[in-house]
Chains A and B, each alone.
Chain A
Amino acid sequence: MTEPVLKVENLSVDYEVGAGVFHAVSNVSFSLPPGRVVGIVGETGCGKSTLGQAIPRLLPEPPAHIRSGKIIFQGTDLVRVPRQKLPMVRGTSIGMIFQEPLNSLNPAFRVYDQIAESIQIRHWREIGDLPMFQPGPTPFDFSRRPVPTAGQVLSKPFLPGEQVQEAARHRLVTRDDYKREVLDYLRLVRINDPETILRLYPHELSGGMRQRIMIAMTLSQKPTLLIADEPTSALDVTIQAQVLTLMKELIEEVHASILFISHDLGVIAEMADDLGIMYAGALVEIGPIAEVFKAPRHPYTKALLRAIPAQYKTDGALPSIPGSVPNLSRLPSGCSFHPRCPLARPICRVNPPPGLPNLPHAAACHFSDEVATLP
């Protein structure tokens, strides 16, 4: 078994605002092996976007607060990384595609400048002008550097020979090199006539174009882990299909590890290898997608799957789950799903369900074995 790229352990994120404390993410644990796509599905307000933004520590931290847990990315706990060092993890190591393609590009810069900036960051990190995240057990020097001896300092040349060469090499990178690279990435995301698109401002592009440019920007940094936070929900169905096809091809070519967040089970079914279901801030079920679809072990998953519109169903109304997501600042006692659960029993009102067992396909329910056998 290979070491997972990302391992989230008991992560809890709160929002502390005037109206109270909202437990947006509570006790979420999962791991993301290299080259796999993990999908996270849940209703609006279940904390899936918070989870996605908490992993590269992008949440604005006065309202948000990581209460406990670990985010282990390639052996480093990102929760313990000081804020000033976070930029070196973002971009080249953890890339992100956002939900709002309409606002995720800076309106004041042309498409070229935005993609070139991403490429420049990667380039500078590769040649060592900017610090790059080093995977490994101790990538960050949290302690003070050891004080060098006088002999070490005095015998050190001003620039080591290889560093002079490096400096000479990166001075040779010109605007044309950047432009060629930008054009390559625009072609990669299937943009017709990239030479023209380069000069345009974001407001002159359609939503699908902007989202593809966003994807090009993220991919141009060659991230190890890609977090796609509802990349297609703001797009209409045809554009959505194009973007999904594109991402699938990229997964096959680049073998990236992807955390794919969506509220659309159809989209997830097309993309993901593993599926996690979130409800009220907690991960209620996780497993390989085929098994979760075939034999869900949590009543919420079962209800969600039943609510997918079937193509040939003609009789009766579409089944839906009664009620709505509970208020995250006042979660119900016991299992947070019990007010909406058709199988709720007295124990569900009192005891919270056991945590996710360490199985490939696990669910947080008192009666998960029983749920799996139900039709």
Chain B
Amino acid sequence: MAFTIILAAFVLITPHWIAHYGAQQETGVYNSPPTLFQWPPSFAHPFGTDGASYDIFSEVMLALPTDLGIGVAIAGFALIVGGGLGLVAGFYDRPGHLSGYTSAFIMRVTDVFLAFPSLVLALALVASIGKGTIQAMIAIMLTWWPYYVRLVRGEVIAVKHLPYVTAARAAGVRETKILTRHVLRNVLEPVIVYFTLDIGTVLVIFSTISFVGVGVPYPSSSPEWGSMMSFYQLYYPFQLYWWAITFPALAIFLTVLSYSLLGDGLRDVLDPRSRRALAESAAHEPPPEANVGEPPVLPLPPDRGPSPGMAADLGGT
């Protein structure tokens, strides 16, 4: 995952280092004249070329920052909006009071959104607000937040009746601070893990929308894997030109997989009870002395007899 992000950063900063033949549509300068001939993968073109002799490797690499960014942006919007609403709906739900009605209202709106399949709803939204990258992103953002409301609210409700929340309240901590410090910190871990896994899902949904043909247009100066696949499957049938559609699809697969791995790694970092946190705290302790040759001989404690403190401790009742 780290490799993917570093690669994406490189592509963003210096696209021509990695994508040698990239952005040809933009500049109009072709490395080789368009031959209307498709080259299979070779040393010069690792992923092959398409009919206009565009280097598919460059296209895939140029799409990397776009796809990573779109996934993070959509899921991040959903996390902030949906997570915030979920926190409020879960924590302030006193029946019969303003907070209870607010919570109920948020949850009913969420239910309405959840009643539609989000892909279909997003497609309908794109159809109504027009094709394009930004429009597709807005459509998915609008359909994606309800899942986070549900998730965060459930976690908050599970946490807020635990004894340590009552203990914080008993110590005089104000309600808002209990929510933002004690509850939020304990809710964060599952939500962040879900978020990183979800970026992959969002990516698949976005690629689907592009594949259907209402998302990112292709050819374009900022290509996207879904729209590349859409274009290639139409003009370069798999049976003849297997490389054209395989490599964008492989890119999607690897990106989703790496987000999943990132989620697993974050789970280990965030949970104080996990192995990694234990190993970190063990690292504070001095390392055991290395005596390989002979087994250690433990000194026996001196025979002190019962200590006077123990009698005082136990003899009370």
Q: Within the complex, which residue of B170, B186, B316 is in contact with A106, where a contact is CB–CB below 8 Å?
A: B186
Q: Within the complex, which residue of B171, B312, B313 is in contact with A221, where a contact is CB–CB below 8 Å?
A: B171
Q: Which of A225-267 contact B (CB under 8 A)?
A: 238, 241-242, 244-245, 266-267
Tell me whether A203 is interfacial, beta carbon within 8 Å.
yes
Q: Are B185 and A241 in contact (CB-based, < 8 A)?
A: no
Q: Within the complex, which residue of A58, A106, A107, A267 is in contact with B169, where a contact is CB–CB below 8 Å?
A: A58
Q: Are B313 and A103 in contact (CB-based, < 8 A)?
A: no
CA distance A270 to B312 in the complex (A): 13
Tell me whether B129 is interfacial, beta carbon within 8 Å.
no
> How near does chain A come to B107, taking the closest CB pair, in angstroms?
17
Contact with B along A66-97 (1 / 0, CB 8 A): 00000000000000000000011111101110
- With both beta carbons as reference points, the residue of chain A lying nearest to B169 in the complex is identified as A58
Q: Are B170 and A91 in contact (CB-based, < 8 A)?
A: yes
**Known A60-B161, A241-B314, A241-B316; contact A106-B172, beta-carbon cutoff 8 A:** no
Tell me whether A50 is interfacial, beta carbon within 8 Å.
no
Tell me whether A214 is interfacial, beta carbon within 8 Å.
yes
Q: Are B272 and A107 in contact (CB-based, < 8 A)?
A: yes
Q: Within the complex, which residue of A87, A95, A270 is in contact with B317, where a contact is CB–CB below 8 Å?
A: A270
**Known A104-B164, A104-B167, A270-B317; contact A88-B172, beta-carbon cutoff 8 A:** yes
> How near does chain B come to A193, taking the closest CB pair, in angstroms?
12
Q: Are A98 and B166 in contact (CB-based, < 8 A)?
A: yes
CA distance A125 to B175 in the complex (A): 16
Q: Are A199 and B284 in contact (CB-based, < 8 A)?
A: yes
- With both beta carbons as reference points, the residue of chain B lying nearest to A218 in the complex is identified as B171
Note all chain B residues with C-beta closer than 8 A to A121. Answer: 171-173
Q: Which of A314-371 contact B (CB under 8 A)?
A: none
Contact with A along B303-316 (1 / 0, CB 8 A): 00000000011101
Q: Are B186 and A62 in contact (CB-based, < 8 A)?
A: no
Tell me whether A290 is interfacial, beta carbon within 8 Å.
no
Tell me whether A56 is interfacial, beta carbon within 8 Å.
yes
CA distance A139 to B174 in the complex (A): 19
Note all chain A residues with C-beta closer than 8 A to B173. Answer: 87, 91, 117, 121
Q: Are B273 and A107 in contact (CB-based, < 8 A)?
A: yes
Q: Within the complex, which residue of A108, A203, A266, A270 is in contact with B186, where a contact is CB–CB below 8 Å?
A: A108
CA distance A200 to B317 in the complex (A): 34
CA distance A214 to B166 in the complex (A): 13
Q: How large is the interface on A (under 10, 10 to 19, 20 to 34, 35 or more residues)?
A: 35 or more
CA distance A269 to B272 in the complex (A): 40
CA distance A281 to B237 in the complex (A): 80
CA distance A218 to B166 in the complex (A): 13
Q: Which of B263-317 contact A (CB under 8 A)?
A: 272-273, 277, 281, 284, 312-314, 316-317
Tell me whether A201 is interfacial, beta carbon within 8 Å.
yes
Note all chain A residues with C-beta closer than 8 A to B95. Answer: 62
Tell me whether B182 is interfacial, beta carbon within 8 Å.
yes
Tell me whether A204 is interfacial, beta carbon within 8 Å.
yes
Tell me whether B162 is interfacial, beta carbon within 8 Å.
yes
Note all chain A residues with C-beta closer than 8 A to B171. Answer: 90-91, 95-96, 117-118, 121, 217-218, 221
Q: Are A56 and B281 in contact (CB-based, < 8 A)?
A: no
Q: Which of B223-260 contact A (CB under 8 A)?
A: none
Tell me whether A286 is interfacial, beta carbon within 8 Å.
no
CA distance A25 to B166 in the complex (A): 20
Tell me whether B163 is interfacial, beta carbon within 8 Å.
yes
Tell me whether A109 is interfacial, beta carbon within 8 Å.
yes
CA distance A100 to B165 in the complex (A): 12
Tell me whether B168 is interfacial, beta carbon within 8 Å.
yes
Q: Which of B65-107 contact A (CB under 8 A)?
A: 94-96
Q: Are B163 and A103 in contact (CB-based, < 8 A)?
A: yes
Note all chain A residues with C-beta closer than 8 A to B167. Answer: 96, 98, 104-105, 214
> How near does chain B come to A71, taking the closest CB pair, in angstroms?
15
CA distance A121 to B170 in the complex (A): 12
Q: Are A87 and B168 in contact (CB-based, < 8 A)?
A: no
**Known A121-B173, A201-B272, A203-B272; contact A103-B164, beta-carbon cutoff 8 A:** yes
Q: Are A244 and B316 in contact (CB-based, < 8 A)?
A: yes
Q: Are A104 and B163 in contact (CB-based, < 8 A)?
A: yes
Q: Within the complex, which residue of A60, A100, A106, A266 is in contact with B182, where a contact is CB–CB below 8 Å?
A: A106
Note all chain B residues with C-beta closer than 8 A to A103. Answer: 162-164
Note all chain B residues with C-beta closer than 8 A to A266. Answer: 317
B94, B161, B163, B277: residue with the most chain A Cβ atoms closer than 10 Å:
B163
B95, B161, B185, B272: residue with the most chain A Cβ atoms closer than 10 Å:
B272
- List 18 A–B pairs whose Cβ atoms lie within 8 Å, in order of A's numbering: A88-B172, A91-B171, A91-B173, A95-B171, A96-B167, A100-B163, A106-B164, A106-B168, A107-B186, A118-B171, A125-B172, A201-B277, A204-B281, A238-B314, A241-B313, A241-B314, A245-B313, A270-B317
B residues at A contact (CB < 8 Å)? 94-96, 161-164, 166-175, 182, 185-186, 272-273, 277, 281, 284, 312-314, 316-317
A residues at B contact (CB < 8 Å)? 53, 56, 58, 60-62, 87-92, 94-96, 98, 100, 103-109, 117-118, 121, 125, 196, 199-201, 203-204, 214, 217-218, 221, 238, 241-242, 244-245, 266-267, 269-270
| 8 tightest A-B CB contacts, nearest first | A91-B172, A96-B170, A103-B163, A90-B172, A266-B317, A108-B185, A241-B313, A104-B167
Known A62-B96, A92-B172, A106-B164; further 7 A-B contacts with Cβ < 8 A: A88-B172, A95-B170, A95-B171, A104-B164, A104-B167, A107-B272, A125-B172
